[in-house]
Amino acid sequence: MELLSEDIVPEYARDVKQEAREFAREHIEPNAEECFRAGEYPWEILEAGMDAGLVAQDIGEEYGGRGLDVVQMLAIAEEFYRADAGIALTLQLASFGAEMMEQYGTDEQKERFLRPVAENDQITGLAVSEPDVGSDLAGMETTAEKVDAEDGDDGSDGDGDYVLNGEKYWIGNGVEADWVTVYAKTGDTDDRYMNYSLFAVPTDTDGYHAEHIPEKMGMRASKQAHIVFDDCRVPAENLIGTEGGGFMMLADFFNHGRIVVGGHGLGLASAAIEEAWEFVHGREEFGRHVADFQAVQHGLADMRTEFEAARSLNYRAAEHVRDRENPGLWAAMAKVKSTETAVDCAERGMQFHGGRSILADRRIARVYRDVRIPVIYEGANEIQRNLIYRQSGEQ
């Protein structure tokens, strides 16, 4: 059964999709179970992905990347996530947020921060969510206060610096990254959407403290961090774009991210369907194969139908986002449909496996744990439904 076929993929994205498939077969699939069990950061696989030209390559060629677009990143994501979600997330988080540096950063910032990521000399991360705030981008509490010269440690060199205070949570590579893009509050105006800015913060800056979040139920080969900023001082030249423009920059970036997260769902759904199909055609109950029961056949038919619907929507949405045609609406629909299809397929797959589904060494059990996570990150699906409703009315 070949679910991630090329027929729906635009021709220009097929080569990189094949590269991702070959890499997944060689490096991700053979290590998936062990990485899940160990729950350790897969440095060797990340480095292999870098060598294969499949990490941080949506950054433009001008800065050392391949300039892959959102359709190509979707094609990579579904192949990686079919093989293992935790390892895949590590590979795709290595440059998470750097795209905003490319779009809005200065030439000096791009050379200092972006090029090392594109050339795989550094990895980065994006710090947005907080311990008590998740999807409300205009409700974050971490602050970045601009200080005057007299506020500097030596009374002379502080003019224009920003001092960050607060906490961030669920931050991919918060410990491992060389620098992170931090979303922080810089204003207190009546327009709550204009109060936030983005900063490039090296992780060796004084006042930056990060530790791994305790063990997760799924995607265990990916590491997230709790970051505390304690009078963490960064120079004004580390401001990305304009002060107060962070919300709009981030909202636009998430349109691309949600398409790729849809690919996370597609990969996981395909893994669940493949596992269920193989199991029911190889196991007997009451003197016949489980696949001979009509209820099972109908379940598999529903799984396949919903998967194909989700995949069609996701690739159509990717082209809308690429071409900037009502991207927020399409990205939200793709994210909701694909990630929830993955949940449904994993639940049915668990049911078809019966008692064996709860064994820790079963791939379907790992997939079942992993699918619960993409429906939450990159904006919980309940928030996406708000966007779908509102933006549908704006057309």
Structure confidence by residue, pLDDT tens digits, 140-149: 999 999 997 4
Looking at the predicted structure, is the pLDDT value of residue 93 above 50?
A: yes
3-class DSSP assignment, residue 212: strand
The reply to whether 187 and 200 lie within a common domain is yes
Mean pLDDT (the chain, rounded):
93
| Size (the chain), residues | 395
Tokens 């750097």 correspond to what residue? 98
pLDDT in tens, 41-66: 999 999 999 999 999 999 999 999 99
Instruction: List the CATH number of the domain containing 224.
Output: 2.40.110.10
* DSSP assignment letter at 240: E
Please list the residues that pair with 172 across neighbouring strands. Answer: 224
The reply to whether 388 and 252 lie within a common domain is yes
The reply to whether 56 and 139 lie within a common domain is no
Residue 34 to residue 386: CA distance in whole angstroms: 39
- Within a domain: residue 114? no
Q: What is the pTM (predicted TM-score) of this model?
A: 0.94
Closest CA to 2 of 87, 78, 54: 78
The reply to whether 89 and 133 lie within a common domain is no
Q: Residue 157: pLDDT band by 50, 70, 90 thresholds?
A: low
pLDDT of residue 285: 61
The reply to whether 79 and 138 lie within a common domain is no
Sequence-distant (≥ 6) Cβ neighbours of residue 34 within 8 angstroms:
none
pLDDT in tens, 176-218: 999 999 999 999 998 989 999 999 999 999 999 999 998 899 9
Q: Domain count for the chain, please give it.
A: 3
Instruction: List the CATH number of the domain containing 374.
Output: 1.20.140.10
The reply to whether 19 and 137 lie within a common domain is no
pLDDT of residue 54: 98
| Helix residue ranges per DSSP H, the chain | 14-23, 32-38, 43-51, 70-83, 85-93, 98-104, 107-109, 115-118, 246-280, 294-322, 327-353, 363-371, 381-393
Q: Give me the percent of the chain exceeding a pLDDT of 90.
A: 84
Sequence-distant (≥ 6) Cβ neighbours of residue 252 within 8 angstroms:
327
The reply to whether 374 and 261 lie within a common domain is yes
Looking at the predicted structure, is the pLDDT value of residue 135 above 50?
A: yes
Q: Residue 94: pLDDT band by 50, 70, 90 thresholds?
A: very high
pLDDT of residue 155: 45
**What is the set of active-site residues?**
378
pLDDT of residue 154: 45
Sequence-distant (≥ 6) Cβ neighbours of residue 379 within 8 angstroms:
135, 254, 258, 332, 335, 387
Q: Which position has the higher pLDDT, 237 or 355?
A: 237
Tokens 């962070």 correspond to what residue? 246
Q: Residue 395: pLDDT band by 50, 70, 90 thresholds?
A: low
Residue 32 to residue 55: CA distance in whole angstroms: 18
Dihedral sign for Cα 217, 27, 101, 257, please: negative
Q: Can you state the angle between helices 70-83 and 14-23, rounded to 10 degrees?
A: 20
pLDDT in tens, 330-367: 999 999 999 999 999 999 999 988 877 777 778 999 99
The reply to whether 215 and 271 lie within a common domain is no
Task: Confirm if 178 and 116 have CB atoms less than 8 A apart.
Answer: yes
pLDDT in tens, 262-298: 999 999 999 999 999 998 887 666 666 777 788 889 9
- Within a domain: residue 268? yes
Looking at the predicted structure, is the pLDDT value of residue 10 above 70?
A: yes
Task: Determine the structural domain holding residue 132 and report its residue range.
Answer: 124-243
